[in-house]
Amino acid sequence: MACKLFNSKGDLIGGIAHIRMLSGESTMIITLDTGHALQFNPDDIYLDSNCDAHIRKSGTIHRRAIDSYDSYCYANPAKEILDDVHGQMAARAIKKVIFNPPATVVYWTDGTKTVVKCSENDIFDPEKGLAMAIAKRSAGNNSGYYKEIRHWIEQSGFKQA
C-alpha cells in the first residue's frame, strides 16, 4: 500500500509518489502522485507506523515562533492540493450508466458523456464496456485511449487464443 500525506487535521492530501532529501540541507521534498510537490523542514512532518506522512500542527513540540510560521505556511498549499484533488474526483464521478448493446453510455457529474461500442466481432460485456468508458474518459474522451491499450498489448507479445 502506498504512503499518503495528511494535513494537520488528518485530511488526506494525496498519495506520496516520492520523498527526497536535498543534499546539504535539512529540506524534504514530497512529491504527490498528482504531480504536486511540497517542501518541508524535517520537523514539520512526522511519519506514522504505516509510513504515512503527517504535517504537524503549528506551535507543537516546543517550536520557535518562526518554525510555527513555517509550518502554518504549508496549510494553504496543502488545502489547495486537497481541494484540487477532491474537485477532480467529483468531476470524474459517474452520474448514470446506460447499457444498450453494443454501446455503453456513461453520464458524468460534470455534464459530459462518454460512449463506447464493442465491435461486431465481440460479445457485449457490460463490465468491459464500463471499464473502457472509464479508460476513454481518463484519456481525454477521445479514441486515443484504445490505440494506447492496443500498443501495450502488442508490445507485451501476448497472443490471444
pLDDT in tens, the chain (161 residues): 478 888 887 888 888 888 887 766 677 788 888 777 888 877 788 878 777 888 886 543 333 333 444 444 555 566 666 666 556 555 568 899 999 999 999 998 888 899 999 988 889 999 989 988 888 887 777 777 778 788 888 888 877 76
Element (H or E) spanning 137, and its range?
Answer: helix 126-138
The answer, as to whether pTM is greater than 0.75, is no
Q: Are 128 and 103 in contact (CB under 8 A)?
A: no
Domain edges within the chain:
4-89, 92-156
DSSP string, 24-66: TSS-EEEEETTS-EEEE-GGGEEE-TTS-EEEPPTT-SS--HH
Q: How many CB atoms lie within 10 A of CB 91?
A: 12
pLDDT for 42: 72
Q: Residue 42, preceding bond cis, omega within 30 degrees?
A: no
pLDDT for 88: 59
Q: Which triple of cell numbers denotes residue 45?
A: 512532518
